[in-house]
Amino acid sequence: MALDFRYQQLTQQLQRLLAQGHWQAGERLPSIRVLCKQYQLSLATVQHALHQLEALGLLEARARSGYYVRQQKVAMATASTMSDLGRPAPVSVPELFFDIMNRSAAFDIQPEGPAVNLPHLTLLHRLLSRTLREQGARYALHYDEPLGLAALREQLVLHYRHYGLRLNKSELCITAGCQHALFLALQAVCKPGDIVAVEHPAFYGVLQLLQQLQLQVLEIPAGQDGMDITALQQALSNWPIKACMVTPAYATPTGACMPPARQQQLLALASTYDLAIIEDDIYGDLGFYQRPTLLKSLDTEQRVILCSSFSKSLSRDLRIGWIAAGRWQQQVARLKLVSQLAGSQSVQQALTLFLAQGHYKRHLQHYRIQLQHQRDQLLTALQRYWPTAHYTVPHGGLALWLVLPTGFNCTEAYRHCLQQGIVLTPGELFSSSGQFQHCLRLSFTNPMLGSRLAALQTLAHLFSR
């Protein structure tokens, strides 16, 4: 067990160095003997770690030469030139989205696969039972205050302070999940017909909101470092964009992260063009190595609206999110009253205790390791069963972006795959302009084992034909 732990530690250390560019593509790593001496580990431990990195496609072994950094298979499949920038347009979300949601399969290619053990929920449910037992009668007779339970907002303040964001509890409003928070943010800053800039590819939930609110979308190319700021600047000079929606930390579907320097550029543009920035931070707590910088923490003009929830980090079933709306906070609080009236005080109180007693912090420490392991399982399976595929290698979040050669149509393959018990998340869902039909979002929310691994093998075989 100790040997396994040491090789896993070394694997993670070397993977972190590779992610930070310590060695470039094609560069030779230090010899096994040097690594043994540097990390004070046995020959078998170092070899095991290097074999694991080779299986993940990060290294390649060359006979009588050593291990070299492989060119990563990262393909964002987005527009890359300014001439590709489209025009603002109404949004139409494909009916396919509703079919996938009806199957509860947005993050699972094999929803009938084995259930995953979630020990943290036992603690949370125990706290919820205690809350209902001790305070249920009082909560049953009184509405929640408009901003949500003060004690929960205080715990969120403490959580964010650890990551360099200073808020006070009056700057936070509890919502019915992150989607509700994004909905309130758009309602507060936009009116029907306004133009909203989004990343391309974009989260389909955002496109759904834009459609419902009768807003126009302008898709801005995004790569590994997030939204293309030069393209956004050109768009701002051509169109009266009212708001920009971004996910700086592990954006779905690509897993992209926006570095602080680009975040500063985005904020400078927002100041110049009086732009509202809506930050979707739902994946921020799920970084394998570190938590990315919060865009809100760099905001000096109160123009960044931070939205998040516990849905991805703790449980989809909680439906508890929050919003820190800056200069629009009062409007958001009133809109929350109209759209929700009040939230569940019992659930909020249980979450307050869960955070205050340190359970959430301990859960994240475990869950990040689990997600990284499951991502590595998925990468290993792709290397083995789908070696011709190109994909992103995210360092956090829940999903990666797989890109097939142009001509493949994953939307057409959706119905055929259903007959095999496989539920795809086709790339077409992540654009309002019908692009990315040759792309798929694949999730590592569940272990890539058993029936899920078999489903991936079947999927790879179907597309290889």
pLDDT at 227: 95
pLDDT at 55: 66
The closest of 308, 297, 210, 172 to 250, measured between CA atoms, is: 308
Contact 239, 88 (CB under 8 A): yes
| CA distances in angstroms from 10 to 40, 214, 286, 375, 407, listed in the order given | 11, 51, 21, 17, 41
| CA distances in angstroms from 43 to 6, 35, 60, listed in the order given | 12, 9, 18
- The string of pLDDT tens digits covering residues 317-348 is 889 999 999 999 999 999 999 988 888 889 99
Reported pTM: 0.83
pLDDT at 56: 65
Q: Phi-psi region for residue 81, left (φ > 0), alpha (ψ -120 to 50) or beta?
A: beta
Q: What are phi and psi of 244, to 5 degrees?
A: -130, 125
110 burial type by CB count under 10 A (0-12 exposed, 13-18 middle, 19+ buried): buried
465 residues of the chain, pLDDT tens digit each: 344 467 778 887 888 788 767 887 788 999 999 999 999 999 988 988 888 787 666 788 887 788 988 865 544 444 333 346 778 988 887 788 788 888 776 788 888 777 777 888 888 999 989 988 888 878 887 888 899 999 999 999 999 999 999 999 999 999 999 999 999 999 999 999 999 999 999 999 999 999 999 999 999 999 989 999 999 999 999 999 999 999 999 999 999 999 999 999 999 999 999 999 999 999 999 999 889 999 999 999 999 999 999 999 999 888 999 999 999 999 999 999 998 888 888 999 999 999 999 999 999 999 999 999 999 999 999 999 998 889 999 999 999 999 998 888 998 998 889 888 899 999 999 998 888 999 999 999 999 999 999 999 999 998 887
pLDDT at 72: 57
pLDDT at 60: 82
Give me the domains of the chain, ranges plus CATH numbers.
Answer: 2-69 (1.10.10.10), 92-118+369-464 (3.90.1150.10), 145-360 (3.40.640.10)
293 burial type by CB count under 10 A (0-12 exposed, 13-18 middle, 19+ buried): buried
Q: What are phi and psi of 227, to 5 degrees?
A: -60, 140
